[in-house]
Structure 1
Amino acid sequence: MYRILIVEDERSITHTLKKRLEKYGYECHTIEDFKRVLDVFQETEPHLVIMDINLPYFDGYYWSRKIRQISTCPIMILSARMSELDQVYGIENGADDFITKPFVMDVVLAKINGQIRRTYGEYAKNTERRIVQLGNTTLNLDTVRLSTPKQEEVLTVKELQLCTMFFEDFPNVVTRQRLLSVIWDEEGFVEENTLTVNIKRLRKKLENVQSSLELKTIRGIGYQLTVKDE
């Protein structure tokens, strides 16, 4: 299920978007504290962001720049002001598309579906597609999917980064320190529990696709991706 983060301070608009998008199978997250937009983005790891411009504390351009520093997920600007200059400024600050208020919900859905298809789905770049396979399991770095002949799962940004490291280092042990330093390469301190939670989610997705791979904990060191014994 694809996740969408709605960054909008008008509750009626937030409610309308959330209700309609959830009806069409999207998982939606909203902002309660507009000082924590980037924190919520990192916590929820959405596949797409709907970003209003006029927000409390900092505007949507500011948060788009912040998100663009750590993610390439699509950002759709939502605003009543959408002149050519506004659109140029939006693109320069990381926007991928624009929704003008008042909006038609069917148009919003079409734009979102298009961004999802182009970024993760059947319209994603297929030239020199980066695909890695181990056992019965395929990791597609372009469509952000973990799959087997039986099932597939869409990965979050952090899950993709973790999975890529494990596939590339197979069958070696990857230390916790290396995972933390490479994946969370930022100035702030990151609790190791954050890594543990993401490892747990990745294990669950390997289980969901009935993968022949197993992510083992090497006590005191880190983790090792192995192929299960038949």
Structure 2
Amino acid sequence: MQKTVLIVEDEDILREIVKDYLLNEGYEILEAVNGNEALDIFEEYEVHLIILDIMLPELDGWSVCRRIRKSSDVPIIMLTARADEDDTLLGFELGADDYVTKPYSPPILLARVKRLIDSRYSSTGNLSSLDTLVISGIHVHFPSRTVTVDGESISLTHTEFEILTYMMRNSGIIITREQLIIKIWGYEFAGDDRTVNSHIRNLRHKLGDKADSIVTVIRVGYKFEDKA
């Protein structure tokens, strides 16, 4: 099935460059030049990934991301013209899965798109050998990518789901921040430890009473522990 990417970028030249690269890779492309148009398109069409600029007319990328996350876990890559780490962390807190700082290399952006789409929608992808995984009252159903905690459904972003399931599959094993970055974002990722910390903080918040299943190992990383 052909995957659809929504490009939300008000700079025509940049949008066309990204569009051409993605079209050459076989993706179907939808385009928006402002935040309100992006939301309208997202409501009308099936979108598999969004490339979302932060600085947009009418409605900025932060607001678009926040609204989409109320109803969808579609992968979102944020584009920012600023190398401000606080901007990046805010994007992750709002539910973005990845970010790219302008000026960027289109092939690098394409690699990020392919990684997210492959891991999110591939039938082989990152699926467990079993359809389900249950530890400490946290129940993961891989075919539907749903997570419940003590029977209550929780909403995770694509990246939060990948982090949680990676840690649960390696329950009891210390995982360094570097290992998480390589596994979840890839070798080309330009972020740092604060990126990982931000996602872990969000994940713990959503896990509620099960947050203590993710244990911090000082100066090393994290470990998932069965608290049952």
**TM above 0.5, one fold?**
yes
Gaps of 5+ in 1: 131-139, 143-230
Note the 1:88-167 alignment, pairs <5 A: 88-121=89-122, 122-126=124-128, 128-129=130-131, 140-142=143-145
Counterpart position of 1:20: 21
One-letter code aligned to 1:39: D
**CA–CA separation in structure 2 for the residues paired with 1:41 and 1:107:** 24
Counterpart position of 1:74: 75
TM-score, length-normalised on structure 1?
A: 0.55
Paired-residue identity, %: 37
RMSD of Structure 2 on Structure 1 (CA): 2.1
- Figure out how many residues of one structure are paired with residues of the other and give that number: 135
One-letter code aligned to 2:26: G
Aligned-pair distance for 1:128? 4.2
Aligned-pair distance for 1:35? 2.5
One-letter code aligned to 1:71: S
Paired residue secondary structure (1:123): coil
Paired residue secondary structure (1:71): coil
One-letter code aligned to 1:44: Y
Gaps of 5+ in 2: 133-142, 146-228
The structure 1 segments of at least 4 consecutive aligned residues displaced by more than 4 Å after TM superposition are none
Aligned-pair distance for 1:48? 0.3
What per-residue deviation string (whole Å, max 9, x for no partner) do you get for residues 6-61 of structure 1?
A: 01000001111111101100001001564232111111221000000000011101
Paired residue secondary structure (1:56): coil
8 Å contact 2:69–2:95 — kept in the other structure?
Answer: yes
TM-score, length-normalised on structure 2?
A: 0.55
Aligned-pair distance for 1:70? 1.1
Paired residue secondary structure (2:100): strand
**CA–CA separation in structure 2 for the residues paired with 1:7 and 1:58:** 11
What per-residue deviation string (whole Å, max 9, x for no partner) do you get for residues 112-152 of structure 1?
A: 1110111111333426427xxxxxxxxx434xxxxxxxxxx
One-letter code aligned to 1:141: S
Counterpart position of 1:60: 61
